[in-house]
Structure 1
Amino acid sequence: MELAYWESYKAIAQKLKKRFMRKPKYDVARDEYMHLARELKKEGAHQPAALCFLAVARCQEAMANNTAMAKYTHEAARLYISSVQYDVYSAYLPLADCIVDATNTYLLAVSMYLNIRKPSLASTLLLELAGTLYDLQLFEEAMLYYRKAHTLQQHTPLVALATLQRVASCLIALGEW
């Protein structure tokens, strides 16, 4: 499936190349990437599916649909995280690359939500990322993203307090409290 997936991905990307006096058909490419992403997700190939969702987000960006672009980037980030969690449970060793991909995709989605003035969604994504890092016992990184989420939660004091409690639990886990 890996080879077939890559060939399909490249074929869709080839259709997007500009031709003389013709604009690329981003809506058609978006639908094809979406179909491929759903197939891969169904088969459990989370990383390739995440790559396809990022391609869908790029198509949405080209069509100037920022909300959908943020949504599909978020979906890609979730797939990267589920890939990381699957790799942890299957004792797959090189997790660092998966974690970096997941973190970068989450941060991209956070910046997109901040650009469209939706700080509560950005904060939720940061909490989601921090919770996953905490579960993976990466307490220092988790604490960093809990703190970033806290800065975005100024209008929701109860959630901000709960986030500070998570920061404290990270400090305790690190032995710095």
Structure 2
Amino acid sequence: MATDLSASFNEQYININTKLKKRFMRKPNISEATNEFIALAIQCEHSEQPAFAGQTYIGAAKCEASAGNFLGEAEQYIAAARQFMKAEKKLAALKFYSPDRENLEAAIGCYIQALSKYPEKSPIRASILLELGKELVELDHRLEALSYYEQAVDIIEDSTMKLMCMRNLVNLLIECGKYDIALETANKICDSNFHIPEGIMTEIQISRVLLVLLVEPDEDTKSESLKQLLDHLLHDEDSEALPFNTDLRLKLQSIIISSSCMDQQSLISIAADTKPFLTMQQRNLLETLIVEKKCE
């Protein structure tokens, strides 16, 4: 059955290309060929053959390029990328991993082709980068996803969208063990002019407390806002940048003191009570902190 489908796909794909070549001496009907490629791609999608669909959308993209329709070309490359990603996810679900990463590399290549068709600061370009990063995270290629999230952050100008993207980047950096860069990014968020909702401010500030205990930066490299955070927290000073309730504030104080004194038992004890206040990434940070204090 699969062989028949493959043969049918190859035959139809070759027929469309042959028609284009036969008209080489005349002006080819690019629009007709584009529509035929898209129709074949949709047929492949319905047959649950995303890799074939991806190849066919690339054919449509090349037709759009020949016609000088660069936005149409970008759209077809994105359609192709999504199909190759779907094919990669199917393989991953079956626990089958190709050493050559054919579908994944094809998907990334198509996304990159689409990116090249938009201006450097285009919001659509940022959306493509975020989509590619998200797909890589879902496939557990987190380190690879980082660069695409970082590129998106550099492009995004809307403050709300930039804040959310930077927040996601902090969490991804924590998952990848890039604690120093995660701390720098969290500092940038707090040092920015963003309007930061209280819930997000609480999350970022907790992460900064845990990260600074892990990274242990020199005093002269700490940002002023980070110094103030630690100072206000330890001296029970109220601040808009310290949106912690009394219970959480006391727990964070205990974590800072236990960590500074390298009292692992106290750290383990307070960690159990603090975890309900933490995100998954922050819980992992706290576990890492406990392990590191044991080794010191």
| Shared fold (TM-score, shorter chain, > 0.5) | yes
Counterparts of 2:24 and 2:104 in 1: how far apart (Å)?
41
Q: Which has the higher contact order (CA 8 A, sep 6+)?
A: 1
Shift of 1:20: 6.7
Give, as a single letter, the amino acid of the residue that structure 2 aligns with 1:166. Answer: N
Q: 1:97 aligns with which of 74, 79, 102?
A: 102
Q: 2:170 aligns with which of 165, 168, 171?
A: 168
Shift of 1:176: 2.2
Q: Partner of 2:130: helix, strand, or coil?
A: helix
Question: What residue in structure 1 maps to residue 148 of structure 2?
Answer: 145
Shift of 1:99: 1.4
Runs of 4+ in 1 over 6 A off after TM superposition: none
Q: Partner of 2:105: helix, strand, or coil?
A: helix
Give, as a single letter, the amino acid of the residue that structure 1 aligns with 2:26. Answer: R
Give, as a single letter, the amino acid of the residue that structure 2 aligns with 1:157. Answer: S
1:31 aligns with 2:35: yes
Q: How many pairs align?
A: 174
Give, as a single letter, the amino acid of the residue that structure 2 aligns with 1:9. Answer: Y
Q: Compared with structure 1, are the counterparts of its residues 156 and 20 closer, same or farther at alpha carbon in structure 2 (3 Å cutoff)?
A: closer
1:7 aligns with 2:11: yes
Q: 2:64 aligns with which of 60, 81, 89?
A: 60
Q: Which protein has the larger Cα radius of gyration, Structure 1 or Structure 2?
A: 2
Counterparts of 2:131 and 2:167 in 1: how far apart (Å)?
15
Q: 1:40 aligns with which of 33, 41, 44?
A: 44
Q: Deviations over 1:100-124 (max 9, x none)?
A: 111111111111123xx77111111
Counterparts of 1:52 and 1:166 in 2: how far apart (Å)?
34
Q: 1:86 aligns with which of 85, 90, 96?
A: 90
1:22 aligns with 2:26: yes
Q: Compared with structure 1, are the counterparts of its residues 164 and 140 closer, same or farther at alpha carbon in structure 2 (3 Å cutoff)?
A: same
**Do the aligned residues in 1 keep the contact of 2:84 with 2:106 (CA within 8 Å)?**
yes
Shift of 1:138: 1.2
Give, as a single letter, the amino acid of the residue that structure 1 aligns with 2:146. Answer: M
Counterparts of 2:49 and 2:136 in 1: how far apart (Å)?
21
Q: Partner of 1:64: helix, strand, or coil?
A: coil
Q: Deviations over 1:39-77 (max 9, x none)?
A: 001111101101111111111111122221111111111
| TM-score, L = length of structure 2 | 0.56
1:109 aligns with 2:114: yes
Shift of 1:142: 0.8
Larger CA deviation: 79-88 vs 37-46:
79-88
**Do the aligned residues in 1 keep the contact of 2:61 with 2:72 (CA within 8 Å)?**
yes
Q: Partner of 1:121: helix, strand, or coil?
A: helix
